[in-house]
Amino acid sequence: MPPKRFCILTTIILAGSAAVLLQAQTGLVFEQPLLLTSAGQNAEVQIASVLCRKAEITATLAKTATAKDLSNFKTLVLVLGASMKGLGSAGLDIAKERDRIKSLLAEAKAKSIPVLAMHLGGEVRRGEITDELIEEYLPAAGLAIVVKSGNKDGLFTRICRDRGIPLREVEKTLDALGPLKAAVKK
């Protein structure tokens, strides 16, 4: 077998094994299609959309998704990170954003739609408001995928450990592709 085919085959097998292991650990299955939205109107939600495309995952980006937008989706992806510029551009303040996310998560829970949380901005996206959003919304997740530099203080580790949420840390944003592929059922 040529080396390139061997590498591709090995990657497929490892991704499939990771998905089975995640399902066995959590009982959760993240199915397509996904609804992507931001908690805090960060730019990283766009990156999450690109990662889904690269992973050949069916996903729709809705920066200001509301509870009614969940009707045709099987997984909610919440990208955590506050951006004052993003909030302003969306015509939201942090109180309105919190209300939007609370309503979205309540609807996801009512419809038994699992939540996959991502923090792709690393250390630069952390701050007081982002930390409050993480504390408030990460507990609703069934899985967290986090750029390691955004967890230097162990905030994600602590919340995930206390709530029994699997945590996948990656070195850089692009590395989130692997855990994302492994988490979402094809």
Q: What element of type H or E holds 139?
A: none
Q: Tell me the CATH number at 57.
A: 3.40.50
- Bridge-based pairing of strands 167-170 and 59-61 is unpaired
User: What is the mean predicted confidence (pLDDT) over 101-130?
Assistant: 95
User: What is the per-residue pLDDT across 74-92, written as a single tens digit (0 to 9) for each?
Assistant: 999 999 999 888 888 888 8
Domain that holds residue 56: 3-183
Q: What is the band of 1 on the pLDDT scale with cuts at 50, 70, 90?
A: low
| Confidence check: pLDDT of 2 > 60 | no
Model confidence at 142: pLDDT above 50: yes
- Please state, in angstroms and rounded to a whole number, the distance separating the CA atoms of residues 111 and 107: 6
Q: Considering its fold, how many domains does the chain have in total? A: 1
| pTM for the full predicted model | 0.84
Q: How far, in Å, CA of 96 to CA of 50, rounded? A: 27
For residue 32, is pLDDT > 50? yes
Give the C-alpha distances (Å, rounded to integers) separating 169 from 1, 145, 180.
Answer: 33, 6, 11
Question: Which of 150, 130, 152, 29 is closest to 80 using CA atoms?
Answer: 130
Give the C-alpha separation, 106 to 110, whole Å. 6
Residue type, 21: L
Is the pLDDT assigned to residue 153 strictly greater than 90?
A: yes
Q: Say if residue 27's pLDDT is above 60.
A: no
User: Please, what's the b/e burial string for 49-69 (b: 16 or more CB within 10 A of its CB; e: otherwise)?
Assistant: bebbeebebebbbebebebeb
Task: Give the 3-state DSSP-derived string for 76-122, with helices as H, strands as E and coil as C.
Answer: EEEEECCCHHHHHHCCCCHHHHHHHHHHHHHHHHHCCCCEEEEECCH
Query: Which residues 6+ apart lie within 8 Å of 26 measured at CB?
Result: 142, 143, 166
Query: What does the mean pLDDT of the chain come to?
Result: 88
Asked if pLDDT for residue 48 goes beyond 60, the answer is yes
In the predicted model, what is the mean pLDDT of residues 119-139? 94
23, pLDDT greater than 80? no
